[in-house]
Amino acid sequence: MPNYLLYGANGYTGRLIAREAVVSGQRPILAGRNAEAVSALASQLGLEHRVFALEDAAATRAGLEGMTAVLHCAGPFAHTAGPMVDACLEARVHYLDITGEISVFEMLAARDTEAMAAGIMLLPGAGFDVVPSDCLAAHLHRRLPEANRLALGFHGIGRFSRGTATTIVENLHAGGVIRRGGVLTHVPAAWQTRDIDFGEGPRLAVTIPWGDVSTAYHSTGIGDIEVYTATSRGQLRMMRLSRHLGWALRSSFVQGLLKRRIQAGPPGPTDEERAKGKTFLWGEVSDSAGHRAVARLRGPEGYTFTMLTALAAVTRVLAGDAPPGYQTPSLAYGPDFVLEVPGVERTDE
Ligand SMILES: NC(=O)c1ccc[n+]([C@@H]2O[C@H](COP(=O)([O-])OP(=O)(O)OC[C@H]3O[C@@H](n4cnc5c(N)ncnc54)[C@H](OP(=O)(O)O)[C@@H]3O)[C@@H](O)[C@H]2O)c1
């Protein structure tokens, strides 16, 4: 029977996925670097486990023995994706992760030829970032194939997990990123604002460096891409202030301070918060002739969304559906893949 390794299983999101995997009848092998935490979770769920650190290349390779795929949930992925992908390429094991980091998407896209040669799939971004937005982008492109501009937006993520907050803190100094003429382009933090109607009236939204500026280009070929998130006037002022604080935000003193505050907080949203939460996405494409198409999508809370999309992707892989090479969610499984997630609705304007 094909099976997969869930690495980073003891993290907030890894645990959600492990629990739901068991509910849906899967028996992944749990893994991570913390022997105590991983073995406790494995015995609680009645699953096998493996313990290894990603710094140990031989142990990582050995940790993949007998596996069809890895679902990599240990982040920030800027530190963890490289060694795991190296091991996957050597061991010929499909690689899936839940990153949202632009640099990681780009690093994986650059390894497409190696993945093709090894016959394995590299599918980063199998979570909330970027499954729903990527599928929305591909759906809009299908409606307007001549489109050369894409704007995406989302809101409703709610409370972040420690891992997400840490990833954001590590990238605070970096400002914004958009795509212009096919090229990833650095712009100041909170570069553009616009009012977006996510389905319940217009809301203020601001550009952020979200994964789709990397992935939607691969999915659609559209060269001009911006991603927005709903914001408040106060948050917008803080984001603009951060433009002048890059040096401080990068310093190990401020990084340490912010990360200690994150670690002192709760691991992520409670089950009740997740059950109540909802996410809203909006996308717009336009072409040079002035044609425009808009679509919206609504779905479960962000971490629940991540758990469900990651499991939907891994289920496809275990069934033998894993196109080799670098993939985005919509390239691998089509624009309608996200509609397989319970509670997801898409509407066209
Ligand atoms: N794309 C999305 O929509 C989405 C959704 C959810 C999460 N994420 C991302 O997924 C990552 C994890 O989030 P989380 O909420 O689960 O965070 P978390 O609760 O802080 O858990 C992080 C996990 O990663 C492991 N880890 C961190 N650095 C490691 C390293 N260098 N080597 C091995 N293991 C390492 C941790 O192991 P230890 O316990 O041993 O430290 C832990 O298991 C974050 O980067 C987050 O941004 C993305």
Q: Show the tokens assigned to 324.
A: 């080799």
The confidence band for 245, taking pLDDT boundaries of 50, 70 and 90, is: confident
Question: How large is the average pLDDT for residues 228-235?
Answer: 91
Neighbours of 12 (CB within 10 A): 18
Q: Separation of 9 CA from ligand 1 center, angstroms?
A: 9
Whether 194 lines ligand 1, by a CB cut-off of 6 Å, is no
pLDDT tens digits, 58-113: 999 999 999 999 999 999 999 999 999 999 999 999 999 999 999 999 999 999 99
Neighbours of 267 (CB within 10 A): 13
Q: Separation of 259 CA from ligand 1 center, angstroms?
A: 13
Whether 33 lines ligand 1, by a CB cut-off of 6 Å, is yes
pLDDT score, position 162: 84
Count of alpha carbons within 13 angstroms of residue 250, beta-carbon side: 8
Task: Give the whole-angstrom CA distance, residue 266 versus residue 183.
Answer: 38
Neighbours of 45 (CB within 10 A): 18
The confidence band for 277, taking pLDDT boundaries of 50, 70 and 90, is: very high
Q: Separation of 96 CA from ligand 1 center, angstroms?
A: 14
pLDDT tens digits, 115-170: 999 999 999 999 999 999 999 999 999 999 999 999 999 998 778 888 777 777 77
Whether 152 lines ligand 1, by a CB cut-off of 6 Å, is no
CB under 8 Å to 195, separation ≥6 — which residues? Answer: 202, 203, 204, 205
Least confident of 47-51, 64-68, 198-202, 324-328: 198-202
> For residue 79, which atom of ligand 1 is closest to its CA?
31
**Residue ID of nearest Cα to ligand 1 atom 13:** 163
Whether 220 lines ligand 1, by a CB cut-off of 6 Å, is no
Whether 133 lines ligand 1, by a CB cut-off of 6 Å, is no
Whether 127 lines ligand 1, by a CB cut-off of 6 Å, is yes
* pTM across the whole model: 0.95
